[in-house]
Amino acid sequence: MSHSTVPRSRAEAKTAGEQAQAPDSASGSRKQRRPRRGEQGSPAAAKVSVRLRLRRDRTLLLMTLPAVLLILLFNYIPILGNVVAFQDYDPYLSDNGFVAMLESPWVGLQQFERVLADSAFWHAVQNTFVLFFLQLVLYFPIPILLALLINSILRPRVRAIAQAIMYLPHFFSWVLVVTVFQQIFGGAGIIAQTLADHGHQSFDLMTNPELFKYLVTIETIWKDAGWGIIVFLAALSSVSNDMYEAAAMDGAGRWRRMWHVTLPALRPVIALLLVLRVGDALTVGFEQLLLQRDAVGPGAAEVLDTYVWWNGIRNQDFSYAAAAGLIKGVVGLGLVLTANKVAHLMGEQGVYKK
């Protein structure tokens, strides 16, 4: 038997084991080293410095810089002009509008008192909310239904053609949309001429004040419903086919799969868009209504935006228009916060988290 194969005695094995454990015991007796700043596992690893983040995300920041500048230029800087709502603003005090703003006298809340005391303002508010609720009931569900319809089409080519046909009216201007409806539903339109040729009484939907709110809603649906399905189709594309297959194996039919799989996937998106729609309640289409205001009269077509235009901008009463617009903005902000709170109570995220 060679020397390498001779078994060690118990004393020798114990000595070897103590020598092997000596470094470990020595390291264990020392104080455990704290992780350095920035090392993996340290608290500082999760908190990156601002300078490091700017350097890391500089490409993305440069890409978003033009959009941020546009938002600042056209959305935030004009907010400073709301100061004229507390003045008797006269743009002719100076050639420079900013200097004229500084030289205009302060009147406090006088402009707001004028707006709230005007019965035409409250009539415009009433028309605005009537159009909003009507479009909320008739227009808001249409993109959801269209998205479900397109999503059920199995052939990709047919689906692409259907999407293109539905998207197309969104790219038409309101001038063209009103013209198309005039040629169809107007007094000299196709329907009226066909009825007259067959001995029936013709009609003119475009000049009927009582039906104007329904006409505006139909125009909005025809123009923008196809474009609104993009967000819902994007949400549906994130639903895994395994969920549909599992529901089908459990015996769920098409309608049950839609109710228990598709609609729950759309629920967060529906809540978000509903909150945004409620926040946009006081803006129901300025250009669309302004083009048809003369045909049906201000009693049917006057909303807050057209009221501000006719009574403030056109008459050059800029302080009055600014006060009405500021009231509209404050009420819109309150509607957004209220709708978002309702979304939180329903378990949805809304525009922002709690």
Residue 42 pLDDT? 47
pLDDT at residue 349, as a whole number? 72
Q: In whole angstroms, give the CA distance from residue 314 to residue 318.
A: 9
First and final C-alpha spacing in the chain: 79
Give long-range contacts, CB 8 A cutoff, 24+ apart: 140-143: 140/273, 140/274, 140/277, 142/221, 142/225, 142/228, 143/225, 143/226, 143/228, 143/229, 143/231, 143/232
**Residue 264 buriedness (CB in 10 A; 0-12 / 13-18 / 19+):** exposed
Rounded Cα gap, residues 271 and 344, in angstroms: 10
Q: What is the pLDDT of residue 236?
A: 81
pLDDT score at 81: 86
| Paired strand residues for 87 | 106
Maximum Cα interatomic distance, the chain, rounded to a whole number of Å: 126
10-residue mean pLDDT series, the chain (354 residues): 45 48 46 50 61 88 93 89 89 82 88 90 91 87 86 80 87 91 87 84 84 90 87 80 80 80 82 82 84 86 88 84 89 85 78 68
